[in-house]
Amino acid sequence: MSLSFFAFALFLYLGLDVPEAAFSPACAAASEGVEISYGSVIKLMHERTKFRLHSHEVPYGSGSGQQSVTGFPNVDDSNSYWIIKRLPDSSAKQGDSIPNGTIIRMQHMRTRKWLHSHLHASPITGNLEVSCFGGERESDTGDYWRLEIEGKGKTWRQDQRIRLRHVDTGGYLHSHDKKYSRIAGGQQEVCGVREKRPDNVWLAAEGVYLPVNGSK
């Protein structure tokens, strides 16, 4: 495992600005189709609006009152990094590739909470609320998301269009151009929608991608 990954993680954990040197060209260029493995730290980009999946220590003022999740317009915000994690009872290891159909968890790098959903209504549209919840030792099935790769891809790569479907509710991770005006002014609502729509397609963007086990 490279030193740059640990340096990158330390910068994020301490809340410092991440230096550009933390990204190698091989890891940062989406056109190269870098394979995504467990333990990678990525930003997830909403395909249509180009906003990044984002969270911060601001609770929702309605619904669950849990930590809010939004779409963020700026590329360089460290609150948009997520660690790709396996399930607690999985035999997969850090560095393993992630096949289509796999159930994964996504841990917010800065706050250590899990990308989560449930039946509470989202604040703007009344769809399924998406929040951040739990912590290192607190995780449940509300944190489980099934990877659905568009097209013929067998394992998750950086240039692939994907959907994430929430296991408990059946809702797809979704965003749109409806924006908050107060606490998260200018940020987009992120929610869950049970139907497949163009607005629930995402791509892996910036990040540190761990080498896949067995690769040279």
pLDDT reading at 18 higher than 50: no
Rounded Cα–Cα distance for residues 60 and 131 (Å): 8
Tokens of 16: 């410092």
pLDDT recorded at residue 5 = 47
Return the sign of the alpha-carbon dihedral for residues 151, 53, 47, 44: negative
The residue-averaged pLDDT of 75-101 equals 96
Write out the DSSP string of 134-178.
-BTTB--GGG-EEEEESTT-SB-BTT--EEEEETTT-PEEEEEEE
Sequence-ordered list of residues with C-beta below 8 angstroms from that of 164, at least 6 positions apart, any chain: 106, 145, 146, 147, 148, 172, 173, 202
Q: Assess whether pLDDT exceeds 70 at residue 29.
A: no
- Could you read off the pLDDT of 160-175 as tens digits, one per residue? 999 999 999 999 999 9
Query: How much is the pTM?
Result: 0.86
CA 191 – CA 112 distance, rounded (Å): 20
Average pLDDT for 128-144 = 96
CB 214 within 8 A of CB 191: no
Instruction: For residue 103, give both structure tokens.
Output: 């159930």
Per-residue pLDDT at 11 exceeds 50? no
pLDDT band at 10 (very low <50, low <70, confident <90, very high): very low
